[in-house]
Amino acid sequence: MSAYITKIAYHLPQQSEENPPGRLTKKTGILRRHIAAEGETAADLAVKAAEKIFAAGARREEIDFVLFCTQSPDYFLPTTACIVADRLKLKKTCAALDFNLGCSGFVYGLGLAKGLIETGQAKKVLLLTGETYSKYINPDDHATRPLFGDGGAATMVELVEEKAEGIYALTYGTDGENFDKLIVPAGGARHPLDKTPRETSADEHGNIRTNRNLFMDGAAIMEFALKVVPPTVEDVLNKAQISREEVDYYVFHQANHFMVNYLRQVCNLGELPCYNDVAEYGNTVSCSIPIALCDLLKAKKTDKPQKVMLVGFGVGLSWGGCMVNMHHAEAV
């Protein structure tokens, strides 16, 4: 008996923004991004993704646990997952939990779901991810705004009668020393909005942000990824006891085209199959890996990959990797 991904879906906001042609767009490979409307939240996007799973045959009354990964909650409290469980009309005995994590969050969520299922605490876990980073980014920050898109994803993880593991070779890491390399400085308990003066700054290229906006040190994040992703790949391979060539697909966090391709090189993956498609979405944070998996499944309907390596990395700073068997997975 093992935890497997059985269904996966995503939902994107209706409105989108085109990235202007130029050096940044060519380098990142991001042509456009979907942007949440005013009043549209990460929970709204995740709920719409979940409804696709239920429309495809999943039964609401069988969900034992809802995990919601977001850094864009509806409220500081209560837990958004509790609100989402009610909106989805799940049973009252269904547990609900938020966890605040970004680009590595999907891998962490799979680990949590696996733990709940394989210790007998749940049989079916609905793992939701949702982000609306666009609401944190200053419209005049032309270095950061073209990178991030909004979205929601839903992944059903459930107990399957298989001896082979469905989610395995999990590995995690944390570098909280560099937490301030990707941050919204003001707004939490450390620097509450009502007691923190608004500060506006501009870089040498004229990109403007305040301390209420998302700040990203792009060079530091790139250095971080180059440092942690290669050993994460090695660790997952060692735990899974397989070679690079035995992996059907490598799916890294879809940060941007340049970073994913560079990581592919430094991880010595050569021409091995790596999924990389940020053109229509941009960096959707915790949703980037499930969106990529869903698209990958749709592209390979008759040949579902059974050894897929997932690696997420980003805000925290944090990272995580694992192997998943997509044999029982359906993209909806």
> Is beta strand 308-314 parallel, antiparallel or unpaired with respect to 249-252?
parallel
Comparing C-alpha atoms, which of 241, 249, 242, 253 is closest to residue 329? 249
Please measure the distance between the N-terminal and C-terminal CA atoms of the chain and give it in whole angstroms.
Answer: 24
Locus of tokens 């034992």: 64
Return d(Cα 255, Cα 313) in angstroms, integer.
9
27 touches 258 (CB < 8 A): yes
* Backbone φ, ψ for residue 125 (5° rounding): -120, 130
Q: Which residues pair with 208 in a beta bridge?
A: 202
Locus of tokens 């940020």: 278
Beta-strand runs (E) in the chain: 2-11, 16-18, 32-34, 65-69, 95-99, 124-131, 151-160, 167-174, 182-183, 200-202, 208-210, 215-216, 249-252, 274-275, 308-314, 318-324, 330-331
* Backbone φ, ψ for residue 6 (5° rounding): -115, -30
What would the DSSP string read from start to end of 8-49?
EEEE--S-EEEPPSSHHHHHH---EEE-PPTT--HHHHHHHH
Structure tokens at 183: 């941050």
Residue type present at position 247: V
Return d(Cα 48, Cα 98) in angstroms, integer.
17
**Active-site residue set:** 103, 253, 283
